[in-house]
């Protein structure tokens, strides 16, 4: 909604500039401008109007760099307004509103570039790894339930997974608060365990971007207003262990081929569950994986994850369902994230899988940003 309000402001502001052009070239009786407008000034009024109209097209086409010509336009516009201050001073209000939007868009793009830089580094690293096929021999050391799961998913005789790209849409909430919608894009890399999760949340019609990064055995979580001002800025050992659980959860659900990783040790529990211990960079986390009779993974439970808001450890689970065939792999397309508090279970996230890709080779083009994070939600 706010995005369309911005488009209306820019378009209206641009069209008003045509009055200066009309005054200079005697197109109609422009009584709103009392000062004489020379033809050179009239040409500048016209050019600025055209530039603002073009900018509205960039916004309608969802071009993330719209703010660059917009910055040029408001500078020229303000010079013209100052030159005709007595008649045009109220145009400053429109320029200031557009400037706020420009700062917001620039801040978000700068924030996004941090994510894209991290993704590019991961792609450059994993693309050097040879693509070998995953065979029955690779899964023989695994518990029978895990072997059945990998067979059901369809990983055999396909390339081993070096990295993944996943796009979600869904809802999240905090205790005592309403659900808010989000869209996310993430890349995971498995040579050196890395999880890069960039999301946008929609609150009060405004886009709030967030970036969770787990790399080099360190995790950070940043949520920034306008991509510039921290709302949340968390890091440290507790978050790193929590995000190690999240990384392993991703491996189990969305990159099952990576479960042949030697950093995982397995212990059978019963006929429908196994215990996994994932160790990386001196950090070990434990999870129980639950399967149904079809061989589908249906839940992941760990006692090693911490709620970021309180940095308190509680049981964490991610029940998944709605399996579909995605490019030859049978994978769940819906999941929830649940805290198991002493007072009862609390579902805080609902995830709908939109896109999944293995062994990506190209530099990132952040769909979440280009399509949804440009400025405001829509």
Same domain for 174 and 71, yes or no, is no
Q: What is the pLDDT of residues 112-170, one digit of tens each?
A: 888 999 999 999 999 888 889 999 999 999 999 999 999 999 999 999 999 999 999 99
pLDDT of residue 338: 95
Same domain for 161 and 73, yes or no, is no
If we measure between CA atoms, which residue out of 114, 108, 65 comes closest to residue 209?
108
Backbone angles phi, psi at 161, to 5 degrees: -90, 120
Chain-wide mean pLDDT for the chain?
88
Residue 363 lies in a domain: yes
Considering 55, 89, 123, which residue would you say is the last residue of a domain? 89
Residue 236 tokens read as 């440290």
Same domain for 286 and 352, yes or no, is yes
Q: Distance between CA atoms of 220 and 212, rounded to whole angstroms?
A: 6
Residue 26 lies in a domain: yes
User: Do 355 and 167 contact (CB within 8 A), yes or no?
Assistant: yes
Backbone angles phi, psi at 246, to 5 degrees: -65, -40
Same domain for 16 and 135, yes or no, is no
CA atoms within 13 A on the CB side of 92: 11
Look at strands 320-326 and 180-189 and give their pairing: unpaired
Residue 124 lies in a domain: no
Q: What is the pLDDT of residues 281-313, one digit of tens each?
A: 889 999 999 999 999 999 999 999 987 767 778
DSSP string, 127-195: TTS--PEE-HHHHTTS-HHHHHHHHHHT-TTEEPPSEEEEEEEEEE--TTS--EEEEEEEEEETTTTEE
With a pLDDT cut of 90, the percent of the chain lying above it is 63
Same domain for 341 and 234, yes or no, is yes
Considering 39, 67, 89, which residue would you say is the last residue of a domain? 89
Alpha-helical runs (H) found in 177-279? 237-254
Q: Distance between CA atoms of 241 and 165, rounded to whole angstroms?
A: 22
Same domain for 302 and 166, yes or no, is yes
Same domain for 171 and 41, yes or no, is no
If we measure between CA atoms, which residue out of 72, 11, 65 comes closest to residue 44?
72
Q: Distance between CA atoms of 245 and 307, rounded to whole angstroms?
A: 12
Q: Which residues pair with 210 in a beta bridge?
A: 199, 223
Residue 106 lies in a domain: no
Same domain for 191 and 308, yes or no, is yes
Same domain for 72 and 144, yes or no, is no
Residue 93 tokens read as 């209000």
Q: Distance between CA atoms of 105 and 64, rounded to whole angstroms?
A: 8
Q: Distance between CA atoms of 133 and 154, rounded to whole angstroms?
A: 12
Residue 104 lies in a domain: no
Q: What is the pLDDT of residues 308-357, one digit of tens each?
A: 767 778 899 999 999 999 999 999 999 999 999 988 999 999 999 999 99
Considering 89, 107, 139, which residue would you say is the last residue of a domain? 89
Exposed/middle/buried for 322, CB within 10 Å: 0-12, 13-18, 19+?
exposed
The pTM score is: 0.80
pLDDT of residue 364: 55
If we measure between CA atoms, which residue out of 321, 323, 332, 245 comes closest to residue 288?
245
Residue 235 lies in a domain: yes
Q: Report helix, strand or coil for 2.
A: helix
Residue 217 lies in a domain: yes
Same domain for 186 and 291, yes or no, is yes
pLDDT of residue 64: 80
Residue 47 CB partners (closer than 8 Å, separation 6+): 76
Residue 40: in which H helix or E strand, if any? helix 39-60
Residue 262 lies in a domain: yes
Same domain for 144 and 279, yes or no, is yes
CA atoms within 13 A on the CB side of 216: 4
Exposed/middle/buried for 187, CB within 10 Å: 0-12, 13-18, 19+?
buried
Same domain for 77 and 163, yes or no, is no
Residue 101: in which H helix or E strand, if any? helix 91-126
Residue 113 CB partners (closer than 8 Å, separation 6+): none
Residue 284: give the domain boundaries: 131-372
When divided into structural domains, the chain yields a total of: 2
Q: What is the CATH number of the domain that holds 148?
A: 2.50.20
DSSP state of 370: I
Q: Cα 257–260–264 angle (5° rounding)?
A: 125
């Amino acid at each position: 909604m706010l995005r369309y309000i911005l488009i209306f402001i820019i378009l209206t502001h641009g069209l008003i500039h045509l009055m200066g052009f009309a005054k200079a070239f005697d197109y109609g009786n422009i009584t709103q401008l009392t000062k004489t407008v020379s033809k050179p000034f009239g040409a500048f009024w016209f050019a600025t109007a055209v530039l603002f109209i073009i900018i509205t097209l960039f916004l309608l086409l969802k071009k993330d760099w719209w703010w660059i010509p917009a910055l040029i336009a408001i500078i020229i516009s303000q010079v013209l307004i100052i030159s005709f201050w007595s008649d045009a001073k109220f145009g400053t209000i429109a320029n200031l509103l557009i400037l706020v939007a420009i700062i917001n868009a620039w801040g978000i793009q700068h924030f996004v570039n941090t994510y894209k830089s991290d993704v590019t580094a991961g792609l450059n690293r994993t693309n050097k790894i040879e693509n070998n096929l995953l065979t029955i021999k690779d899964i023989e050391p695994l518990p029978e339930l895990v072997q059945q799961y990998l067979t059901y998913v369809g990983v055999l005789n396909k390339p081993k997974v070096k990295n993944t790209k996943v796009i979600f849409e869904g809802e999240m909430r905090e205790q005592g608060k309403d659900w808010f919608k989000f869209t996310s894009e993430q890349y995971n890399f498995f040579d050196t365990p890395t999880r890069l999760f960039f999301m946008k949340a929609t609150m009060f019609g405004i886009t709030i971007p967030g970036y969770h990064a787990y790399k080099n055995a360190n995790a950070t979580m940043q949520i920034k207003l306008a991509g510039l001002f921290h709302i949340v800025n968390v890091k440290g050992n507790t978050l790193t262990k929590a995000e190690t659980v999240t990384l392993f959860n991703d491996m189990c659900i969305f990159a099952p081929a990576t479960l042949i990783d030697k950093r995982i040790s397995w212990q059978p529990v019963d006929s429908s569950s196994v215990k996994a211990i994932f160790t990386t960079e001196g950090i070990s986390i434990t999870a129980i994986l639950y399967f149904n009779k079809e061989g589908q993974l249906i839940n992941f439970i760990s006692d090693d994850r911490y709620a970021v808001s309180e940095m308190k450890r509680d049981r964490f689970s991610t029940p998944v369902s709605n399996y579909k065939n995605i490019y030859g792999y049978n994978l769940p397309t819906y999941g929830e994230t649940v805290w198991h508090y002493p007072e009862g279970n609390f579902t805080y996230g609902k995830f709908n899988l939109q896109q999944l890709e293995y062994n990506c080779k190209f530099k990132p083009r952040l769909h979440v940003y280009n399509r949804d994070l440009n400025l405001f939600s829509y």
